[in-house]
A and B are shown apart, each in its own frame.
Chain A
Amino acid sequence: MTTYYTKSHEWIRVDGEQAIVGITTHASEELGELVFVEAKDEGTEVAAGDAAAVVESVKAASDIYAPVAGTLAGFNEALSDDPTLVGRDAEGEGWIFRMTVSNPDDLKGLLTAEQYKSL
């Protein structure tokens, strides 16, 4: 499993064509406590950069973009009951949605952990 990052503060953890996507710890800290998280329906086809989910704090809603093209494959239902899970473990239990990656080669265009940290 390898984790890649985006400039827009998502991470994607890939195992073959299957992946989970979330927001980085840094992004989570900037947003503050989340009150609502929702992803588009399973089966939705997304291009890289398409809004695939939304996270909401008290004051603001923020789009979460698909890091690469693919098909949405499920939402982290634990966030329906407890959106604050993202704040406690943004890059682990607080993952947001699953997706099937259309073309694993697309991942090469994303950032490594070190590249993201140096932004």
Chain B
Amino acid sequence: MFPAAFCVELGASASSRLEIEWTGLFRMSDSLQRTPLYDLNLELGAKMVPFAGFEMPIQFPAGLMAEHLHTREKVGLFDVSHMGQIRIAAKSGDVKEAAAALETLVPADYVGLAAGRQRYGLLTNEEGGILDDLMVANMGHDLLVVVNAGCKVQDADRIEKALSDRCVVTRQFDRGLMALQGPAAEAALAPLCPAVKDMRFMDVIETELATATGPVKVTVSRSGYTGEDGFEIGCAGADSEKVARAILAQPDVLPIGLGARDSLRLEAGLCLYGNDIDVTTTPVEASLGWAIQKARREGGSREGGYPGAEVVLKQVHDGVPRKRVGLLAEGRAPVRAGAKLFADAEGQKEIGVVTSGAFGPSVKAPVAMGYVASDYAALDTPVFAELRGKYVPLHVRAMPFVAPGFKR
């Protein structure tokens, strides 16, 4: 009736139903890792599922829909400790040298990134494909890089191999990482960590956070992956539970699972690595050209100089055959990842594929993103998705699907 990989059969054991979609990056036979917040997640009533090799909370007792809406209206705390934290320090001690070294792997301007600031980027391969997406912060003395859980070992290996002559690359995979997201995030964090009040979007600081047993050292960035204002808080693995408990004790803070994290990031138009971007997609095809700053573009002061630069620079100049776009359905039936896209309602001319799709609880309608032939990528172009043997109408729409709440 529809592709087995994208439907979760009710016939399976009831408790496994929600899990199936989350096993893409993971084989069930592998042994699962646990984050420093594993025990707390269980105590909070989390339903745990395998994700990228970790046992992660997909939802808490409030449920996906309520968790999503609470994050947009108030504030939610996400355990994202499965992601990889990596520090890169130049042997010379000059952070600009570490930044220049990282620029040989990432087509972003990190030399021009000021101390205390963070910037999104992409690790590319020799064909211009995307190996991972990442956040890089200039911590003043070194760089703090946050990468996806499923890619972190290969990312660290790649960075270490390319940079080890000039830099010391330290994997901090045992550290905790939490995202505190939503319009009330500052109100929840400031009583524990007053310095955050002065931060704006994409600022990063090292500071202390008050817990029940005293202050602990944390790194805090004013960023996240929900489209809302908020913070990401990194700390020693051993301090993670104390930090989480202190934050959860603040008014309006609820624990939020990966299920709501996925619908929140999709409404915000943000890519999920492995779904919307991977080695078969380039930054230009993925509509992530904004992640290549002027200095790294044609005619820039440090043009190219990263793996696949010839491919990417040519695509920026000449255009690409397909583009990632946002899609909104006219009806109420969610169009899911894997659905084929057509130019016509009869399914004659295939023009692309949906890479992420769900019902958007805040948009109150199905939301999706996918790749379409560039002739169909203009805003408001009508397209049709194959859904259970029918062709349902959608339009190419601007992302994000919700207004961003960032504090600029």
Give residues in A with beta carbon < 8 Å to B.
7-10, 23, 26-27, 30-33, 35-36, 38, 51, 54-65, 80, 83
Contacts and interface: CB of A to CB of B under 8 A. Distances in A.
Contacts of A57: 18, 64-65, 359
A7 B13 CA distance: 9
B65 A65 contact: no
B297 interface: no
B65 A62 contact: no
B64 A36 contact: no
B15 interface: yes
A54 B3 CA distance: 13
A54 B10 CA distance: 9
B333 A60 contact: no
B14 A63 contact: no
27 contacts: A9-B14, A10-B10, A27-B10, A30-B15, A30-B18, A32-B18, A32-B59, A32-B63, A32-B64, A32-B65, A33-B64, A35-B334, A35-B359, A56-B333, A56-B334, A56-B359, A57-B18, A58-B259, A58-B263, A59-B18, A59-B358, A61-B8, A62-B7, A62-B10, A62-B17, A63-B1, A83-B332
Pick from A10, A33, A56, A83 the residue with the most CB of B within 10 Å: A56
B290 interface: no
Interface string B74-107: 0000000000000000000000000000000000
Contacts of B298: none
Contacts of B259: 58-59
Contacts of B11: 7-9, 63, 65
Contacts of B64: 32-33, 57-59
Interface of B: 1-2, 6-11, 14-15, 17-18, 20-21, 59, 63-65, 68, 259, 262-263, 332-334, 336, 358-359, 361, 366, 388
B112 to A, nearest CB: 39
Given A33-B65, A54-B388, A61 B15 contact: no
Given A35-B332, A36-B333, A36-B359, A60 B17 contact: yes
B7 A60 contact: yes
A59 B63 contact: no
Contacts of A58: 64-65, 68, 259, 263, 334, 358-359, 361
- Closest 7 pairs (CB-CB, A-B): A8-B11, A35-B359, A62-B10, A51-B1, A60-B8, A33-B65, A61-B7
B157 to A, nearest CB: 32
A51 B9 CA distance: 10
A9 B10 contact: yes
Contacts of B361: 58
A59 B262 contact: yes
A32 B358 CA distance: 14
Contact of B333 (A26, A38, A59): A38
Contact of A30 (B14, B68, B332, B333): B14
Contacts of B63: 32-33
B334 A62 contact: no
